[in-house]
Structure 1
């Protein structure tokens, strides 16, 4: 926490220094041109560079007041040198003043247009962020005895969500979770993400088996492809529009079952009584089904039993964008190792585990992602019940001492 505050304070200080530098730069430019002309006179030819001061103010701040201030500084800097020299009948310095005024006018109009565009961009981002947050809504911190944490990193700049999806829902059959990765990334994959998440949120409460949920998701994905093609059949490239998908169910007794369609298997994080310590291991090693959309689902969809999730244990779900991320040297991100490090440093807290893996991932790839990344942690954290006295133990009764005579008047 202290390191985070220190990083936040350092970044805020750097931002203040940059803003101050941008404001001072036009004046520094004018001062540099004037000093150079005084030290090495060039018969006014160098003074033509003063016309750049308003343009620098416009590019740096985009404020009309700064543009006007830069133009005034440039014009005032001409006064010590005179406007027209006797040996200069055409008045090059007067032409320089005209150039300064022209640049001031053009920069003033450009700054106004830039301000309007920035306001429109801010409003568009607010609408897009609100829409994407509704699509990939934040998970609750706790569901039916499970503590949750999730995060998403989009490869598209300025986007909150992309081609990855996740959702967790408490049902009468247990807590069910889905995580998936639509082919491609960014805003182009939002249609498939919306169709799959909408279908999952509807059918997860009605289907008693994960196989039924998966078939409904396949049907929703096929409908979305047909609607996007504008007809009753999918487009020619529909065979390439696939989704890797993982369905996980945690029953009330901790039993874990899963259905995997081409998705990376999650990791089990130890810490329970049977397996003490923060060990990290793949949840299963069964060969998954093909990704959803490449081939029709087979008639039999047997779920994979993954044992029980003991109290204190957790599941770490992720998309392949985390395991496939590379650094500048082309090295893959060591997900299992970094997950073990994050678990040891976070003492198993889901939110801190996700934050640790996210920080390590961004550090590994230098903040430049080539694919979307989704991270989800589900920890079996049942509520602690106070110890009850043994059966037959009499319940103590509070006895009120008798009041002394004369205590009331």
Structure 2
């Protein structure tokens, strides 16, 4: 809060005292004096509220500024109001400090569990965005990550069942497993199986019995010796490919969500050749399930296609794409009720020249 704002109640008090001195005796301004301490207590701390309250009481008892017809019971009532205002200010200040502390802890937790994605990982430019649905929460059930390993740059976009603080432990476990598996597993299917096993351990069902904890996920891999991307989806919405002003969905062979213990989990990666300027967009269902006032879902593919067509030229950079989708979605939806995660990836144009 600007320091100059503290002068406002004192300025009002001075003006009030001057008006009281020059006003006719029938003018009653005692109620304005009484309102100053509570209003000050809503904005400032207890010490400043107490200082202003003392000044108000002094002016009420000085003959030049004492309102007409005010008596000792009135002064006693004003004293009680001033004391209550100081108490309210103290309680408000205490809870404000606690909220700031909790917010700082939540921000630190978010950066520890889901740190901002680097602008560039290996030969891939990146941009990500995460917004939690739970009010005042900065962490929730959606996640993404991009890491470089011995088998190229690998990325993950996933959505944990449920949202809010209850899903944070699962998010942390999945990210840790992904970062370990990308170093050890030669194939994306192996990474997916490691994530599935981690989820089943988290749910306490490491055997074949079904689990109530599940995650939808899409895994991507940019091999170091190919101008292509491999992706595999476990019950997750399809990735979008932006190329030459157009947008299409990349539909990998579907596999069940992770953690359910269903048959046929082993996914079959889809390999897509890439051209210079291609951009890939991963997202969670919080984007496509956002509704407007009439109940219509947000048409992601249609809106991104229209935006790319209006821009013309090559595909946008990842950060511009993420910013557009978030701005357009929040403008379209009357309320966003689920966590939202966006991850845009663009392989560098020099990949082909480096291989040559």
Bin for the TM-score computed over the shorter chain:
0.7 to 0.9
CA deviations on 1:293-334 (whole Å, 9 max, x unpaired) are: 2333426x2423242122210110000101111123322222
Residue of structure 1 equivalent to 2:30: 47
CA deviations on 1:221-261 (whole Å, 9 max, x unpaired) are: 111122xxxxx789x9x844221111112223122222211
Residue of structure 2 equivalent to 1:8: none
Residue of structure 2 equivalent to 1:359: 327
Alpha-carbon spacing, 1:370–1:23, altered in 2? closer, same or farther (3 Å):
farther
Q: Which has the higher contact order (CA 8 A, sep 6+)?
A: 2
Residue of structure 2 equivalent to 1:144: 122
Q: Which has the larger radius of gyration?
A: 1
Residue of structure 2 equivalent to 1:379: 346
Unaligned stretches of 5+ residues in structure 1: 1-14, 86-91, 227-231, 271-276, 388-409
Residue of structure 2 equivalent to 1:310: 275
- The residue matched to 1:379 in structure 2 has which SS? strand
Superposition RMSD on alpha carbons, in Å? 3.5
Contact 2:157/2:219 (CA < 8 Å) preserved in 1?
A: yes
TM-score for the superposition, normalised by structure 1 = 0.73
After superposition, where does 1:334-349 map in structure 2 within 5 Å? 334-343=299-308, 345=311, 348-349=316-317
Residue of structure 2 equivalent to 1:296: 262
- The residue matched to 1:108 in structure 2 has which SS? helix
After superposition, where does 1:98-113 map in structure 2 within 5 Å? 98-113=76-91
Q: How far 1:287 sits from its partner (Å)?
A: 5.8
Unaligned stretches of 5+ residues in structure 2: none
Alpha-carbon spacing, 1:76–1:167, altered in 2? closer, same or farther (3 Å):
same
Looking at structure 1, the residues matched to 267 and 253 of structure 2 have their Cα atoms a distance apart, in angstroms, of 12
Q: How far 1:156 sits from its partner (Å)?
A: 1.9
Match of 2:290 among 325, 344, 348: 325
Looking at structure 1, the residues matched to 351 and 215 of structure 2 have their Cα atoms a distance apart, in angstroms, of 39
Residue of structure 2 equivalent to 1:245: 217
Contact 2:211/2:259 (CA < 8 Å) preserved in 1?
A: yes
CA deviations on 1:76-99 (whole Å, 9 max, x unpaired) are: 2675675785xxxxxx63222222
- The residue matched to 2:342 in structure 1 has which SS? strand
Contact 2:144/2:158 (CA < 8 Å) preserved in 1?
A: yes
Residue of structure 2 equivalent to 1:65: 48
Looking at structure 2, the residues matched to 385 and 283 of structure 1 have their Cα atoms a distance apart, in angstroms, of 22
Q: How far 1:384 sits from its partner (Å)?
A: 8.2
The answer to whether residue 153 in structure 2 is matched with residue 175 in structure 1 is: yes
